[in-house]
Amino acid sequence: MKLVSDPAIAKKIRKMQQRVRWQDPLILEKNIDQTRLVLDDGRADDEEFSFLVVGDSGSGKHRGHNPQRKVAELMLPHHHECRFMLHTGDVIYLVGSSEYYQQNFIQPYREFILGGDYPESIAYDEMVFTLPILPVPGNHDYYDLPILLSLASLTTFPIRQLLRSRLDLDVGLHGSGKGDAYARAFLDYLKAYQFPGDLAQHLDRYYTAKTNTGRCLSYQPGHFTRLPNRYYTFRYGGIDFFALDSNTFNDPPPLPATREGDADRKLLQQRRQDLEREKMQIIETSAKLNPDNPIEADQLDDLHAKLSQIEEIIVDIDKQLATDKTMLTDIEQLDWLKQRLIESWNTKEVRGRVIYFHHPPYVTEATKWEQAQTLAIRSRLRGVLDAVAEALGSLTQERPLVDLILNGHAHCLEYLQTLDTGHADSHLHWIVCGGSGFSLRRQRTEGADLVETIGNAGKENRLVARSHLFVGRNGQGSQKKRPYSGLRIDVQCERYPKFVVRPLVAEWHQRQWHNYEIEPFKI
């Protein structure tokens, strides 16, 4: 029994293009760049500024505590000192449903939203941010409910068991609508304009910023806070920020039609069956636990986390087993990133570059580090950076192509550095910020060093990355600790950007919140 359904990449792209009327004749006529915005706060030229980062936050209040709200409260003292908040994806769990935006986003972040004194009156598709919140979509923001679950059928044993379960799954009557809820919440939903005159008036009102790539959207905090597209770029303090939708270039290549490929397929099919059995055992066990008992409530939290983890592994396996893929990757977006990075390096006033997207190419969290999607993302980002490096030649003067890369998806806070990977992603700084509300995960038992097998023979191992900080679930039994996290990042006024990273952490331990301090570090 699947709990979630992940739409095909081609369908995600097509639906999102329809929602923003991608390359509509009127948009082309007005020379509008639909992948760019200008953050119109009157301070975008300041070279010294700060911003916040959260990710994988979209859970509600569970078992008497609300981690997402606690992390938001940690950020409130920094509200007026920071210019914007980046969100690395998974805004809403479990399936990105519109009915959970009130509980899982608006209520926790109410101080950052216009009219937040009365959050219950804010519609999810009419949010206006006083502090810009600039997200990218996560996999859960695209997930839907399988037909069987959406019908809430009572005729099968698995669904009867799920309904008896004490697991708080944040699943309503429907899913994301293939990302529609996310689009209505954050994107400029141009599909809503039925008449050319209305669309023209809207474009003339809000797409007024002028750049070297044409007119673009003017993002006005407290007034108009929509994003132009699912992936986009903006410049602030001389730094180009690139926001990507990694959900459309995370498909692993199909298993080869060889003896080895057939053997791998059988192993994956068997593992999937084992995971399905384990999932049903979790659901059955949860039905016997009492959420009002503190010890059993903690057990339910653990089972909830385990169930979500299993479901993500099953999705990853299904991507590897799929035989009817119509589109393997989002070539248009990756080519856009390549061209915009090259353009950024050829623009004198740009002093640095930051990329953020959901799926981390490098991570040591136990459930994500060797997933097929992780390796696919790594390969495709490398392809872009290699092409950029080749095009730029000596222009970079041996500086890294990108100064900082931010991700989510792995439910932890982690800082890594790549070593010599043999590609243009060598010696880069990577931060995974995916522990801002949903169930936390542990670091893998294999440790902090990531090794990659290279060469056709598969016999040579290369150390490609090293983790310097990992904040996630740790301890056992009564000593189990759950440190939830976000970030404040201070950008210093130097010729080349330096970032002071300030982790903001709240730890849930023995049914209470505890102070948890980590020294800021500079990269």
Q: What DSSP line would sit under 422-479, residue for residue? A: SSTTTT-EEEEE--SSSPP-PBPTT-SEEEEEESTTS-EEEEEEEEEEEE--B--GGG
Give the predicted TM-score (pTM) of the model.
Answer: 0.94
Residue 326: give its domain's CATH number.
3.60.21.10
- Residue 340 placed within a domain: yes
Distance between start and end Cα atoms, the chain: 45
Residues contacting residue 514 through CB under 8 Å, at least 6 positions apart:
506, 507, 508
- Residue 258 placed within a domain: no
Q: What is the mean pLDDT of residues 137-164?
A: 62
Q: Which amino acid is at 425?
A: D
Question: How many distinct structural domains can be found in the chain?
Answer: 1
- Residue 317 placed within a domain: no
Residue 472 structural domain: 9-253+322-451+460-522
- Residue 313 placed within a domain: no
- Residue 261 placed within a domain: no
What is the rounded distance in angstroms from the CA atom of residue 370 to the CA atom of residue 386? 22
What is the rounded distance in angstroms from the CA atom of residue 435 to the CA atom of residue 282? 23
- Residue 400 placed within a domain: yes
User: Does residue 151 register a pLDDT over 60?
Assistant: no
**pLDDT of the residue at 156:** 43
**pLDDT of the residue at 53:** 98
Residues contacting residue 123 through CB under 8 Å, at least 6 positions apart:
none
User: Does residue 393 register a pLDDT over 90?
Assistant: yes
- pLDDT per residue over 302-314, tens digit each? 888 788 889 889 9
What is the rounded distance in angstroms from the CA atom of residue 169 to the CA atom of residue 163? 11
- Residue 432 placed within a domain: yes
- Residue 316 placed within a domain: no
Q: Which two tokens stand for residue 20?
A: 């923003």
User: Does residue 169 register a pLDDT over 80?
Assistant: no
Residues contacting residue 362 through CB under 8 Å, at least 6 positions apart:
378, 416, 418, 430, 450, 464, 465
Angle, CA of 93, 96 and 101, to the nearest 5° = 85
- pLDDT per residue over 461-493, tens digit each? 999 999 999 999 999 888 999 999 999 999 998
